[in-house]
Structure 1
């Protein structure tokens, strides 16, 4: 398999949204790396549209859940239903048993609902009572969230954030892009029927994943990845400001994520091996949601992106 085999998926997504090339790349990287994606942005920036376009281009079941404050864990996982005719309980699967799951506005539900996602995202299985049920081999959660400063939102638990492979931030379009959005909307009003798309089969997707996993990553770059993640835990060794800004660094899950995503980035670029610039390209979206900054950093207007960008300039490239 080659990157050109994934081009129809990219083209279909690009036909539904204008711009946002980095966001599309993040979705494809997570897809190739068997990971989950958290998407943050203001309302109206086509986050949901992009995720639905990705699902349309893939072979598999798609389900959307609108997260609300009154949602219950059983609304995601499923529940045991008593069958009088059988005299026993029967498990009715919930939305988590679909291949592609869109968790829309995920941070509008409280922590007890968020916890229902933990086992499924980390282990591809669901435990209900004394029984454990496996999820489909292709299982991907794409969650959208509004900025946490908005009314009616909750902070996602750190344990759940760590289970998202990447966090993409969708920004406002440029003036030219917004003009193109108006033109696209006008065309869709005239022709509301969407042309059918040839779906990427799961067999082809799994073949792509094997190709990505087999891409060469030099042992020296393994050390570079570990140094970057270790630096988030001991930032004071690199810079006094970094030491003041970060309370908690990233877990070893971040190192694994960087290695996987760097391979996917290199494969999408058509390269046969991973280079340092592939690692640097994916690190911001992998560490963005895994770092906990100090109150001092927030008071100075320092974001995790500022922290990571500074870190990338200080950690030596092998």
Structure 2
């Protein structure tokens, strides 16, 4: 059982050194309620909630007086809800952390102080109009998240969809002396989607390629999306993913991966058999976000 009902720290009058406290704390004038490990209020506690590392502090108060298994918060989380409001046609979104507006006339006792939500943007930076609270992201079962980073517009992180059609595609791999070849197909191997070659180590796992294949399969019969086409649709870097660099030329996308905690240095080339557009760029960038996700 994951830690759900988080107990507040116990007061020890002897202090950490056993000789008693010698200073006052404002915390003594507030109650210390139990917290719910399914209701994070920041990216740090979101990481804890999704990886089973919860501890008291940085969560909403527990709202149930009974066992956790009878609580609506617990039942909703166990159902693994999908994130609603996700724009169609893209597997990748940028989440920007936005502080709650302050309450006029309130300062020290403002309930909005220190609180935030996540506003979703397209990978190009356009607003989608979708706002998500931290507990919703903690419960969502169809997402992978990258580490948070900071740029000129504040704190942000990447959200990448896990494609539900991943079981329907086929990936066939073969190792050669100088490289490893991966061929991505639609279900049953009926249609080739992409030829991927990894020079050096393979900076991915098999499930990463399956999700890439599923994303490419979605583009086979879809009308090309709006925006840039050709090489101009591909950014050289994706903010926050410092291990990757992209280059698109003559129909081939080259992805260079510097050695990281999970994978060694690698150069991957992708020849995709779908139209070159911002939709293809989104599928390849989503692949990078999945590889970089925690």
Fold in common (TM above 0.5): no
Could you state the TM-score of these two structures normalised by the residue count of structure 2?
A: 0.28
Larger Rg: 2
Could you state the TM-score of these two structures normalised by the residue count of structure 1?
A: 0.26
Q: Which of the two has greater strand per residue? A: 2
